[in-house]
């Protein structure tokens, strides 16, 4: 059973603004936020243990929830908000090395798991759980050689608890535990001094049934199966250690040190270049070229068509047949008529602005290297805090739009802007967290952190939304380029392809097409526990997403106005926002084709989190589409002469 892992995250959050992307005090100026640690020969190296993780269940557990060797006192490392939300639980361990001092056949401890503990170990082996360790802020990795000798080595994050297999001549499947680790610590040495810095932390796991003569004398017991004096070392798992109730398991390790040419500043490059990057770059560039080509065509058609329309309308003014005008100019008296549920539209536009601001600043921080992967939880902490502070812009944009609609209940709109989107997301998150608690997983967010999140929301975000709304509502309302008629004009029957449902569904395809290649890599990094650190390309994709959302909405809005349908407000939001539907459908496809999730709770977690992501994507893309169409309609109606 997992130990409760609550900790006073509240105190951390109260100073969160000061450590926006921070996870520790930096000594000197280092962009990633983590200063290098210098070691001399025989300096102690403490290995920390993190959560047990599985790509099959997506439910992390505390390392000491399994009957592994425990120190006398378990000390939790300080965690930031992002780490707590990710399920990281970093604790001390009995694995302690000395710098540049190789050790062989070191005994950690001996255990004899009871019935429940043995069952728990077997379950974790079935679910392919991995042990995660950290040395000098570097995660433990298992190097895996590819069949192609020239291909670079692939690194698997974390080491499996054990494996399933059969004894020779038997068909019965047994569970074998990895009880011997051969660690390799690579270091980069300064040429002038004897100071070294750690640049890699690797391991090869083995399962071996250790044997010893006589009585157990603690960690000094000589082992028959691993004895450096008689040159008996663990190099294979030919006689593996089976997991059985009340049977002894002896945990041992070797540690070797190797000098490396890799410098400390480049030590993360090995982990970050894990994917087959040629396919990655080719796919993204190919996607961008297609989208840019389509965008160019769209922009060219729009400019030529509009220029001809505006010239024709302005010439008609001087002719007698001016009354026989057709197309979008006919609806000039209704095009700026406030839509139904105008207050709700203002709320969603404000929320979209908040989300857009958060993403933009986060990506800029990431490109500058301020959110390095060595800064665990930094990305999530930064996103949460930026979301809170962007409440100012959410309030401002929603109240400006609401005042243009001549609304008077600005406080109601402000309250909805501050509470609606975060409230829905928090409700889903709360239900998912309750399910994780039910599974006794360390991924469950502690009550103190939940309270801190609510405090951030109501203590900072809500007041900032009100401040923004107050500033926005005090400003004079935006003037419409044309007068609105008192009596609404009848909308003629539209062709089937201009049906709202059809045009909205068509509109979402292009923005989704701009991001779906990148989406595959993002989903893989989240659900298959791989590193993701190509924020430069992600920023480029974000820019392309903005362009495609804007252009497809403008094109469909133009066709809609040409059909004398002036109800464009909500349509423009939904046209770009419908790409979120394709995102959720793609996430469903990814679940059934790429993931091996079998537990019901894990499936519910996946779809719950992807629902939140899709909802956020809807708000973001919808707002981009709305503002593009808003700018477009104001531009064209201010360009023609109206009587």
Q: Cα 334 to the chain's mean position, in Å?
A: 43
CB-based contacts of 163: which residues, under 8 Å, 6+ apart? 125, 175, 176, 178, 207
SS3 456: helix
Residues 612-621 have a mean pLDDT of 96
Residues 411-422 have a mean pLDDT of 93
Tokens 């909500």 belong to 570
Average pLDDT over the chain, rounded to an integer: 83
DSSP 11-41: HHHHTGGGGTT-SS--SS--TTS-PPPPB-T
Torsion over CA: 173, 175, 180, 181 (sign): positive
Cα angle for residues 112, 118, 123 (degrees, 5° grid): 150
Work out the percent of the chain whose per-residue pLDDT is above 90.
41
Per-residue confidence (pLDDT) for residue 10, from 0 to 100 = 31
Phi and psi torsions of 217, nearest 5°:
-110, 35
Per-residue confidence (pLDDT) for residue 291, from 0 to 100 = 72
Per-residue confidence (pLDDT) for residue 482, from 0 to 100 = 80
Please name which of 11, 639, 22 lies closest in space to residue 377, comparing C-alpha atoms: 22
Residues 341-354 have a mean pLDDT of 94
Question: How confident is the model over 7-16, as pLDDT tens digits?
Answer: 333 333 333 3
The β-bridge relationship of strands 162-165 and 180-189 is unpaired
Phi and psi torsions of 109, nearest 5°:
-175, 175
Packing angle, helices 378-389 and 391-404, rounded to 10: 40
CA distance 158 to 49: 10
Cα angle for residues 233, 238, 242 (degrees, 5° grid): 105
Phi and psi torsions of 255, nearest 5°:
-135, 130
Number of Cβ within a 10 Å radius of residue 44: 9
Name the helix (H) or strand (E) containing 164: strand 162-165
Per-residue confidence (pLDDT) for residue 495, from 0 to 100 = 81
Tokens 């983590």 belong to 34
Record the tokens describing residue 268, joined without a space.
Answer: 């993360």
CA distance 152 to 278: 13
CA distance 472 to 398: 8
Domain ranges of the chain: 43-271, 277-291+340-478+497-639
Name the helix (H) or strand (E) containing 414: helix 410-438
Say yes or no to pLDDT of 109 above 70. yes
Q: Cα 428 to the chain's mean position, in Å?
A: 17
The β-bridge relationship of strands 196-206 and 174-177 is unpaired
Please name which of 356, 357, 287, 292 lies closest in space to residue 521, comparing C-alpha atoms: 287
Please name which of 223, 121, 202, 214 lies closest in space to residue 163, comparing C-alpha atoms: 121
Per-residue confidence (pLDDT) for residue 283, from 0 to 100 = 62
187 neighbors 259 (Cβ within 8 angstroms): yes
Record the tokens describing residue 615, joined without a space.
Answer: 């909802």
Per-residue confidence (pLDDT) for residue 347, from 0 to 100 = 95
Buried b (16+ CB within 10 A) or exposed e, 28-37: eeeebbbebe
Residues 436-444 have a mean pLDDT of 87
Edge to edge, what strands does the sheet with 249-259 contain? 103-111, 249-259, 180-189, 196-206, 141-144, 154-157
CB-based contacts of 249: which residues, under 8 Å, 6+ apart? 110, 111, 112, 113, 177, 179, 241, 243
- pLDDT tier, 172 (very low <50, low <70, confident <90, very high otherwise): confident
Say yes or no to pLDDT of 421 above 80. yes
Residues 167-186 have a mean pLDDT of 90
Work out the percent of the chain whose per-residue pLDDT is above 70.
88
Largest Cα span, the chain:
115
Buried b (16+ CB within 10 A) or exposed e, 189-215: eeeeeeebbbbbbbbbbbbbbbebeee
- pLDDT tier, 250 (very low <50, low <70, confident <90, very high otherwise): very high
Per-residue confidence (pLDDT) for residue 285, from 0 to 100 = 75
Tokens 């800064």 belong to 375
Per-residue confidence (pLDDT) for residue 115, from 0 to 100 = 93
Tokens 């008077």 belong to 408
Residues 524-541 have a mean pLDDT of 80
Say yes or no to pLDDT of 544 above 80. yes
Please name which of 127, 89, 128, 14 lies closest in space to residue 445, comparing C-alpha atoms: 89
Say yes or no to pLDDT of 398 above 70. yes
CA distance 445 to 439: 13
Residues 458-473 have a mean pLDDT of 94
Torsion over CA: 455, 458, 463, 468 (sign): positive
* Minimum mean pLDDT range among 23-27, 47-51, 439-443, 537-541: 23-27
Tokens 């309308």 belong to 313
CB-based contacts of 25: which residues, under 8 Å, 6+ apart? none
| DSSP for residue 499 | S
Q: Cα 165 to the chain's mean position, in Å?
A: 35
CA distance 229 to 226: 9
- pLDDT tier, 391 (very low <50, low <70, confident <90, very high otherwise): very high
CB-based contacts of 162: which residues, under 8 Å, 6+ apart? 121, 124, 125, 175, 176, 177, 178, 207, 243
Residues 132-158 have a mean pLDDT of 83
Record the tokens describing residue 427, joined without a space.
Answer: 């409700």
Tokens 């019935």 belong to 115
Cα angle for residues 457, 359, 426 (degrees, 5° grid): 30
CA distance 421 to 304: 40
Q: Is 216 left (phi over 0), alpha (psi -120 to 50) or beta?
A: beta
Question: How confident is the model over 196-234, as pLDDT tens digits?
Answer: 999 999 999 999 999 888 888 888 888 888 887 777 787
Say yes or no to pLDDT of 324 above 60. no
Say yes or no to pLDDT of 570 above 50. yes
Tokens 């992600």 belong to 538
Per-residue confidence (pLDDT) for residue 17, from 0 to 100 = 31
Number of Cβ within a 10 Å radius of residue 286: 11
């Amino acid at each position: 059973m997992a130990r409760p892992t609550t900790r006073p995250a509240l105190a951390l959050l109260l100073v969160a603004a000061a450590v926006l992307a921070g996870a520790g005090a930096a000594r000197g100026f280092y962009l990633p936020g983590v200063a290098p640690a210098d070691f001399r020969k025989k300096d102690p190296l403490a290995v920390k243990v993190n959560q047990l993780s599985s790509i099959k269940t997506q439910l992390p557990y505390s390392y000491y929830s399994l009957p592994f060797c425990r120190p006398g006192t378990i000390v939790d490392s300080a965690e930031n908000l992002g780490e707590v939300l990710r399920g990281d639980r970093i604790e001390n361990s009995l694995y302690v090395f000395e710098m540049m001092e190789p050790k062989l056949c070191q005994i950690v401890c001996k255990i004899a798991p009871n019935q429940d503990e043995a069952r728990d170990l077997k379950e974790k082996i079935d679910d392919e759980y991995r042990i995660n360790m950290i040395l000098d802020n570097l995660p433990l990795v298992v190097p895996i050689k590819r069949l192609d000798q020239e291909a670079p080595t692939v690194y698997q994050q974390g080491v499996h608890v054990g494996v399933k297999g059969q004894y020779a001549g038997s068909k019965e499947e047994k569970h074998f535990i990895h009880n011997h680790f051969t660690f390799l610590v690579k270091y980069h040495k300064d040429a002038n001094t004897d100071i070294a810095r750690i640049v890699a932390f690797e391991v090869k796991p083995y399962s071996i049934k250790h044997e010893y003569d006589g009585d157990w004398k603690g960690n000094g017991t000589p082992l028959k199966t691993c004895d450096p004096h008689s040159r008996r070392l663990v190099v294979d798992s030919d006689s593996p250690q089976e997991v059985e109730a009340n049977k002894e398991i002896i945990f041992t390790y070797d540690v070797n040190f190797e000098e490396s040419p890799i410098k400390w500043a480049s030590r993360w490059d090995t982990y970050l270049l894990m994917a087959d990057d040629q396919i990655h770059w080719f796919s993204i560039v190919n996607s961008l070229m297609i989208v840019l080509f389509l965008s160019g065509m769209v922009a060219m058609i729009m400019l030529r068509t509009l220029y001809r329309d505006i010239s024709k309308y302005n010439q008609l003014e001087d002719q007698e047949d001016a009354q026989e005008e057709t197309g979008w100019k006919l609806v000039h008296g209704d095009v700026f008529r406030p839509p139904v549920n105008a207050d709700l539209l203002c709320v969603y536009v404000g929320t979209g602005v908040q989300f857009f601001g958060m993403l933009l600043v986060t990506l800029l921080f990431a490109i500058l290297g301020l959110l390095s992967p060595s800064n665990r939880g930094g990305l999530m902490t930064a996103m949460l805090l930026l979301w809170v502070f962007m409440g100012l812009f959410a309030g401002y944009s929603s109240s400006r739009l609401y005042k243009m609609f001549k609304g008077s209940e600005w406080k109601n709109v402000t309250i909805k802007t501050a509470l609606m989107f975060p409230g829905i997301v928090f409700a889903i998150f709360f239900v998912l967290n309750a399910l994780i608690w039910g599974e006794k997983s360390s991924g469950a967010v502690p009550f103190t952190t939940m309270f801190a999140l609510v405090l951030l929301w109501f203590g900072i975000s809500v007041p900032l939304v009100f401040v923004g709304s107050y500033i926005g509502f005090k400003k004079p309302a935006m003037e419409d380029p044309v007068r609105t008629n008192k009596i609404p004009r009848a909308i003629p029957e539209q062709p089937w392809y201009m049906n709202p449902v059809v045009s909205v569904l068509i509109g979402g395809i292009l923005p989704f097409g701009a991001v779906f290649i990148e989406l595959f890599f993002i989903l893989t990094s989240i659900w298959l526990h791989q590193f993701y650190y190509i924020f430069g390309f992600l920023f480029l994709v974000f820019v392309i997403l903005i362009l495609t959302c804007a252009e497809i909405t403008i094109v469909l809005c133009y066709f809609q106005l040409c059909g004398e349908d002036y109800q464009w407000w909500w349509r423009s939001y939904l046209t770009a926002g419908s790409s979120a539907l394709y995102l959720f459908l793609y996430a469903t496809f990814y679940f059934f084709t790429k993931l091996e999730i079998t537990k019901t709770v894990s499936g519910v977690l996946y779809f719950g989190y992807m629902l939140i992501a899709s909802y956020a994507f809807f708000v973001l893309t919808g707002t981009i589409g709305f503002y593009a169409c808003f700018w477009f309609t104001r531009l064209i109606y201010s360009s023609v002469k109206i009587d």
